[in-house]
Amino acid sequence: MLYLLFFLLLFSEIFFATINIVQPTKESVDNSYYAGIVGPGQVLLIAIDKKVETGGRFNKGGYYDKAYAINLPKGWSAEPSKLFDNPLHVYITVPQDAEEGLYSFLIQLEDLDNAELLGNKTINITVRVSKDIFDFSLKKKLYVTGPKQPLRIVANINNKGSASDIFVFEIATENEIRKKEVFVPLKSNIDVIEELSFDAKGKEKLKVSVYLKQSPYSIKKVDSIDVLVEGNFFEDLGASGTGVLLLFIPFQPIYNILYLIYSILS
């Protein structure tokens, strides 16, 4: 009878052992965990601390050896943790054509050969698939610059999702398309800078896009920038040699001096 009570107590401790999730968010869980938001085509990393404080031999806890996903939604795939990893990393790949909504699957923690008397532990994982996983904003939407002068375009990418990923920052002008890849960790933001210049004066309209590298068509946001390319001081000196309006004839000697400076410098 005493042996029976001992084993019942042992297995009840195993069942209620608390698991510590490290990523996407740090949380201690018993049987279920909400992993947050991911986009179609993204890879979600679930990192689990292999150590538990309860259960096991003499109810002193122990270490799980392996973790893997089961009962995945149709079209999803997973990569199990490597043996004896710490923390245990399970990678879940969401298909490109996944519909938006809530999905769930299980993660199994395994104590190989029940060596530490932990038994297997199952956690129900819930995740939301959404295309709204990031925001991006432009520091300025109107720039004034001169011909052949460097112009720095600054934008901020805010990754709201639960998966770290590579985003593409793209600027399109009439003559070229500039692209820059930026790694943005989960639940963080980063500034991205692109430098360009224009040869001639005039007005330019830039199309600015940010999209997920793995899903360039389904997860994308677009904005625009106006650029006014005006003459610089050096050019104005040169223009002064072409004459002035009749109203400003008294200032002609001054313009002559300015043009002389331009001629020497050029």
pLDDT at 54: 67
Question: Angle at CA 22, nearest 5°, toward 83 and 9?
Answer: 75
Look up the pTM and report it.
Answer: 0.77
> Amino acid letter at 247?
L
Given pLDDT bands bounded at 50, 70 and 90, which one contains residue 240?
very low
Q: Alpha-carbon distance 20 to 26, whole Å?
A: 7
- Distance, CA of 179 to CA of 216 (rounded, Å): 12
Q: For 204, list phi and psi in degrees, rounded to 5.
A: -125, 140
Spatial distance between the Cα atoms of 161 and 100, rounded to a whole number of angstroms: 14
What is the pLDDT at residue 264?
64
Provide the 3-class DSSP secondary structure of residue 5. helix
Res. 50: pLDDT tops 90 = no
**Which domains are assigned to the chain?**
2-129 (2.60.40.10), 134-229 (2.60.40.10), 233-265 (no CATH)
